């Protein structure tokens, strides 16, 4: 039997996240975006209320909840504001490869720092010359005694300016391609680590995005993630199986917010003697928005349910992420259209949502990369 009903605990969690989004995020979203304010206190409050880092297992101080609970919460947070959702999710993304690949001792240190002390972390993989093509990264880590020496630079790292530590992907065997990559935990106060200025992005401006430069950064050898070198690539990539359902949930939440604003406005604005929604062209636009939002949520829940059931969800997560991100872009663009000239003004929230949607088709694997993943999965046994 397929049951689309949430259980009591899931409903309560969703309601808690919805209240938080309504009371703590929405009232500030415009200001955060306009002034590029990083919402640190609100992120801390969300953590204290048990709305962040839900997948950290109980044995390391976390809530130990599933991907399904995470996507429920993340849809609501992004409904509140997509920039807040991205900023708040950076730590969970950095924790994903630690959960899947770190040793017990490492999990006890780093996951506890997040779960119990509210530490922030960032996932540092992309480089100036390597985004979609992760295998082309150039950052190196060379073993010297009990340390690794890291050199290179990372680009577009969400939350970098506020992170206490980073998950960093580097080459430990540059001749071995993706098999020669390792993950490291690097503290943000390490000597030789420097941050670029906050990028001025098109949207989601409250989220902090920066470059990081590693100039002979020395890291204790026990901060190599896992027991041995070379597992870095698999570890960094498998993190996406956990994170992409959540990015899809963010996209669903953004699209839902844009649709709700458009629906409400279509009832307030009159043209040719009747409310906008009485014109079939507008009503069909609203109908398509709603269908695609429902489909985004179903694909998101499916990919999360797969993850929780231990079913490999690389393909279902790619379906969800691709479809939901493209839907967020389309729905928010159509919401601006429903608002007409007012939609083009920053006075109304739909412009901010449209700007915020674009990056969802780019980060965590672009829409083209998701199609590459799906294409690879569906043709691999031909």
CB of 82 to ligand FAD, least distance (A): 11
Nearer to ligand FAD, 161 or 231 (CB): 161
Does 132 bind ligand FAD (CB under 6 A)? Our answer is: yes
Q: Scan residues 180-209 and list those touching ligand FAD (CB under 6 A).
A: 201, 209
Q: How far is the CB of 197 from ligand FAD (least distance, A)?
A: 14
Alpha helices for the chain (secondary structure H): 8-20, 26-35, 40-48, 67-80, 82-101, 104-106, 112-117, 232-268, 280-308, 314-339, 349-358, 367-379
Binding to ligand FAD (CB under 6 A) within 341-360 occurs at: 359
Residue from 89, 156, 167, 240 in contact with ligand FAD (CB under 6 A): 156
CA distances from 35 to 54, 82, 147, 343, 357 (A): 29, 16, 41, 20, 19
- Distance separating alpha carbons of residues 163 and 49, to the nearest angstrom: 20
By CB under 6 A, residue 91 contacts ligand FAD: no
Using CA atoms, how far residue 382 sits from 294, 376, 379, in Å, is 32, 10, 5
Which range of residues in 239-247, 302-310, 322-330, 366-374 is near ligand FAD by CB under 6 A?
A: 366-374
Check residue 234 for interaction with ligand FAD (CB under 6 A).
no
Give the shortest CB-88-to-ligand FAD separation in angstroms.
13
Residue from 128, 188, 172, 134 nearest 154 by CA: 128
Using CB under 6 A as the binding rule, whether residue 369 contacts ligand FAD is answered as yes
- In the shown chain, the binding pattern of residues 302 to 341 toward ligand FAD, with x for contact by CB under 6 A and - for none, equals ----------------------------------------
Nearer Cβ to ligand FAD (134/338) = 134
Distance CA 234, CA 212 (A): 23
SS3 212: strand
The tokens for 363 are: 């980060």
Smaller CB distance to ligand FAD: residue 31 or 376?
Answer: 376
Query: Nearer to ligand FAD by C-beta: 342 or 363?
Result: 363
CB atoms within 10 A of CB 74: 31
Query: Helix or strand or coil: residue 170?
Result: strand
List Cα–Cα distances, 265 to 277, 340, 341, in angstroms. 9, 10, 13
Q: What is the DSSP letter of 51?
A: -
Which is closer to ligand FAD, CB of 137 or CB of 307? 137
Q: Which residue sits closest to ligand FAD, CB atoms considered?
A: 131
φ/ψ of 122, rounded to 5, equals: -135, 155
Residue 124 binding ligand FAD, by CB under 6 A: yes
User: Under the criterion CB under 6 A, does residue 362 sit at the interface with ligand FAD?
Assistant: yes
| Region of 223-231, 269-277, 348-356, 361-369 interacting with ligand FAD (CB under 6 A) | 361-369
Active-site residues, by number, are 364
Give the number of residues in contact with ligand FAD, rule: CB under 6 A: 21
- What's the min distance (Å) between Cβ of 231 and ligand FAD? 18
What is each CA distance from 160 to 31, 35, 38, 197, 277, in whole angstroms?
21, 18, 11, 10, 44
For ligand FAD, which is the closer residue by CB, 91 or 223? Answer: 91
Contact set with ligand FAD (CB under 6 A):
90, 122-126, 131-133, 156-158, 201, 209, 359, 362-364, 366, 368-369
């Amino acid at each position: 039997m397929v049951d689309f009903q949430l259980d009591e605990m899931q409903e309560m969690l969703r309601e808690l996240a919805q209240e938080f989004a309504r009371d703590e995020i929405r009232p500030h979203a415009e200001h955060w975006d306009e002034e590029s304010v990083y919402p640190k206190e609100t992120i801390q409050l969300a953590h204290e209320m048990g709305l962040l880092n839900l997948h950290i297992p109980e044995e390391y101080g976390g809530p130990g909840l599933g991907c399904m609970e995470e996507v429920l919460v993340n849809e609501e947070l992004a409904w509140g504001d997509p920039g807040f959702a991205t900023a708040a999710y950076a730590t969970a993304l950095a924790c994903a490869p630690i959960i899947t690949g770190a040793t017990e001792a490492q999990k006890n240190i780093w996951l506890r720092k997040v779960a119990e002390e509210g530490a922030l972390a960032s996932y540092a993989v992309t480089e100036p010359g390597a985004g979609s093509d992760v295998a082309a990264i150039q950052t190196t880590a060379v073993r010297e005694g009990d340390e690794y020496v890291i050199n290179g630079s990372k680009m577009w790292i969400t939350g970098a300016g506020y992170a206490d530590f980073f998950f960093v992907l580097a080459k430990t065997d540059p001749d071995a391609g993706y098999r020669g990559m390792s993950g490291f935990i690097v503290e943000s106060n390490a000597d030789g680590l420097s941050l670029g200025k906050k990028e001025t992005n098109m949207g989601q401006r409250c989220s902090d995005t920066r470059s990081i430069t590693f100039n002979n950064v020395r890291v204790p050898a026990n901060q190599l993630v896992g027991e041995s070198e070379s597992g870095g690539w698999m570890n960094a990539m498998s993190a996406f199986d956990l994170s992409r359902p959540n990015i899809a949930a963010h996209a669903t939440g953004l699209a839902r917010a844009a649709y709700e604003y458009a629906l409400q406005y279509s009832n307030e604005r009159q043209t040719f003697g009747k409310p906008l929604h009485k014109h079939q062209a507008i009503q069909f636009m609203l109908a398509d928005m709603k269908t695609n939002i429902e489909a985004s949520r179903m694909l998101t829940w499916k990919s999360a349910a797969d993850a929780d059931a231990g079913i490999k969800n690389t393909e279902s997560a790619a379906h969800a992420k691709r479809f939901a991100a493209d839907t967020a872009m389309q729905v928010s663009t159509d919401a601006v259209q429903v608002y007409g000239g007012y939609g083009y003004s920053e006075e109304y929230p739909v412009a901010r949502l449209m700007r915020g949607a674009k990056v969802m088709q780019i980060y965590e694997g672009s829409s083209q990369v998701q199609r590459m993943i799906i294409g690879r999965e569906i043709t691999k046994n031909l």
